[in-house]
Amino acid sequence: MPSAPAASSEIRGDAPPPPVLVPPTPRFDAPTMALSAPLQDAIDALGAHKRITSAKIGAGGVASETYAAYERVVAIANPEEERALIDHPNAVVRGYLGGHLARFHASHLPELSELLRDLTPVQQQHGCMVGGGTVASYVAMTLCDAVHRQDATAEEARDLLQELAGDATSPVQAEALRCLDSLPG
């Protein structure tokens, strides 16, 4: 007489799902500059996060660990290192640093052209709103923020948005048009 199968979680079907293994982000080595160990560690910590967030997230406005990791990177990096990071293999790192340049470094705005065509998906959380997007859409959104907030790059950001709005091949043409339409007179 065959014996009854042992009661295991696999047989009952209530076994926890197998862990999702995410390959680590490769260490980034900018070909033209050596990055300090603290900066490389900060980049690695930012790259370990899976979404771009605002400074405060959730219904209660809790400080975002991801945003804090981004702030650590820009506190250590100089503008040339920040520029080099827009070529990083990790979409979260590229997005945050592209957005940072869009808001704070007008001289680097022309270098954002590749990021404004980067259709790599990246999850985003702004406040309590979670959704998808692309690196390009995030950078376009920060250009719009730069204009609305009158950041140091506001004039150049507006010019770039107007250029994107007139480019039918731009994947962020609609975002640029919406932004320009939202600006006062």
pLDDT at 3: 47
- Give residues with Cβ within 8 angstroms of 169, minimum separation 6: none
Q: What is the pLDDT of residue 34?
A: 81
Positive/negative CA dihedral, 149, 153, 154, 160: negative
96 domain-assigned: yes
Q: Tell me which residue of 118, 129, 121 sits closest to 172, measured CA to CA.
A: 118
Tell me what pLDDT residue 33 has: 65
Q: What is the pTM of this model?
A: 0.81
Which structural domain, as residue segments, surrounds residue 70?
Answer: 34-182
Residue 65 lies in a domain: yes
Is 143 inside any structural domain?
Answer: yes
Q: Which residues contact 138 (CB under 8 A, 6 or more apart)?
A: 52, 95, 98, 99, 122, 124
Task: Tell whether 18 is covered by a domain.
Answer: no
- 171 is a domain residue: yes
- CA 57 to each of CA 51, 112, 147: distance values in angstroms, whole numbers, following the listed order: 12, 27, 23
Q: How far apart are CA 38 and CA 34, in angstroms?
A: 12
Identify the pLDDT of residue 59. Answer: 86
Q: Which two tokens stand for residue 83?
A: 């520029």
5 in a structural domain: no
Asked, for residue 168, whether it belongs to a domain, the answer is yes
pLDDT along the chain (185 residues), means of 10: 44 47 44 79 96 93 96 96 93 97 94 95 94 96 96 96 97 97 88
